[in-house]
Amino acid sequence: MATSSYFGRNSFVGAAKEDSGWGTAEYTPDVTRPIISCSMLRQVEKVERANLRVAGVAGLRKGHYLVADRVSGSLELECTYDNVGYFIDAALGASATSTGATLNTHTYTMGDVPTHGTTLRLQRGTSDYSESFSGVVFNTLTMSCAAGEVMTLSLEMMGKTSTDTEGPRGDTTLSFSEPSNENLVLHHHASDLTWDGTTYNLIDFEYKLENGLADRMRLGSLLTKQPVQSDYRTSTLTVTFETDDVNGYKKFIEDKVSDATVTFNNAGAAAGERVMQFNLNNCYIESYTDEISETGLVTASVTFKAQGSGASGLDLGTNIIVMNQNDSAIHNG
């Protein structure tokens, strides 16, 4: 039987808020974004029967059954100042926008998660079909950048099922909406990290939010009910910098606690300026290493962990602030 080949180029995703309720598919995307990679897949879990009967003298088990039908996977995108608000908002849980003279400020804070489901549609490269996944929630958000690179945004996801109108991978080709602005967040836009009165010139940076979500399998269905937060949420900032003194190590030993901030600014003029800022509340150094293993520069790898101290804003633990010209925090540029 002949098979059709296709290529990964031109792959992209569309994401839509499920306004009619979690798991009710919305096929018209609120945003579309080109991808670096996507492993989203419908997972039908199968288990062999446990009884000791075998099929003839060959000794093979006889039969199996289905135990779950769910979707899971990861998504990685280039991070821009103008086009990733949907994903940040859905991962953190809340956002607010204030209007400025030339730029609008979008503040993403920790709200209840998941606030809603997302229908994620994946256009599979040059093939004639896309695949739609309903009830998708974002369990982990990672935004990272290293010297010489562009910032990337990665998501670990879980969901209800695939909801293609013509069977698995049966949806027709998805249309990509070209954004009017696409300003990449680049490594040379970064400021130093500020924490406890000290600045650190970074080699690399990773902001990570883990939402502690779990699916809910019940009798009567192969599908999960709406995932819930079943574990503590965590927000961390992991960085590498040259250890030119003992300051960081000393603060780790003394268990210093302070807010931490890293800001990216493209230094554009007026309306062309773009800002993305990461803030951790009351954070402490969870881990510190500065191993000496060769003759070159000694670097420290440090993880800061946020703590909650109040009921609103940054006091909840963390926020991300983005400044651009979009009217909405759920922007597509």
Contact 71, 158 (CB under 8 A): yes
Closest CA to 258 of 306, 188, 318: 306
- pLDDT given at position 61: 81
Q: Give the model confidence (pLDDT) of 8-20 as tens digits.
A: 899 999 999 999 9
- pLDDT given at position 166: 62
Which of these ranges, 50-59, 107-116, 182-191, 232-241, has the smallest mean pLDDT? 50-59
Q: What percent of the chain has pLDDT over 90?
A: 71
Phi, psi angle pair for 136, to nearest 5°: -75, 135
For 234, other C-beta atoms within 10 Å of its C-beta total 17
Which of these ranges, 127-131, 157-161, 185-189, 248-252, has the smallest mean pLDDT? 127-131
**Counting Cβ atoms within 10 Å, is residue 311 exposed (0-12), middle (13-18) or buried (19+)?**
exposed
Give all strands (DSSP E) within 168-274, no chain letters: 171-172, 193-195, 198-200, 202-210, 213-216, 225-229, 234-242, 257-265
State the Cα–Cα distance between residues 26 and 133, nearest whole angstrom.
Answer: 10
In the numeric block, the tokens 């945004």 are attached to 153
Closest CA to 173 of 6, 36, 2: 6
Closest CA to 12 of 130, 105, 118: 130
State the Cα–Cα distance between residues 93 and 106, nearest whole angstrom.
Answer: 13
- pLDDT given at position 2: 44
Contact 270, 211 (CB under 8 A): no
Residue count of the chain, please give it.
333
Q: Give the model confidence (pLDDT) of 89-106 as tens digits.
A: 999 999 999 999 999 999
- pLDDT given at position 124: 86
Closest CA to 317 of 201, 196, 211: 211
Closest CA to 177 of 93, 82, 76, 92: 82
Q: Give the model confidence (pLDDT) of 126-144 as tens digits.
A: 887 889 999 999 999 999 9
- pLDDT given at position 1: 38
Q: Which two tokens stand for residue 33?
A: 């974004």
Q: Which two tokens stand for residue 106?
A: 């979008």
Phi, psi angle pair for 153, to nearest 5°: -120, 125
- pLDDT given at position 167: 61
Q: Give the model confidence (pLDDT) of 267-296 as tens digits.
A: 999 999 999 999 999 999 999 999 998 899
Q: Which two tokens stand for residue 186?
A: 């680049």
What global pTM score does this model have? 0.93
Mean pLDDT of the chain: 91
Q: Which two tokens stand for residue 84?
A: 């990733």
96-115: b or e for each residue (b if 16 or more CB lie within 10 Å)?
Answer: ebeeeeebbbbbbbbeebbe
Phi, psi angle pair for 50, to nearest 5°: -85, -15
Closest CA to 154 of 144, 164, 165, 167: 144
Q: Give the model confidence (pLDDT) of 198-233 as tens digits.
A: 999 999 999 999 999 988 889 988 888 889 899 999
Task: Domain ranges for the chain, please list them.
Answer: 12-47+66-324
Q: Which two tokens stand for residue 309?
A: 């101290």
Higher pLDDT, 32 or 181: 32
Contact 32, 174 (CB under 8 A): yes
Read off the pLDDT of each residue in 108-121 and give the average, rounded to a whole number.
Answer: 91
Asked if residue 178 has pLDDT above 90, the reply is no
For 310, other C-beta atoms within 10 Å of its C-beta total 11
Read off the pLDDT of each residue in 166-185 and give the average, rounded to a whole number.
Answer: 79
Give all strands (DSSP E) within 54-151, no chain letters: 54-55, 60-61, 64-78, 93-98, 104-110, 118-123, 129-146
State the Cα–Cα distance between residues 91 and 56, nearest whole angstrom.
Answer: 52
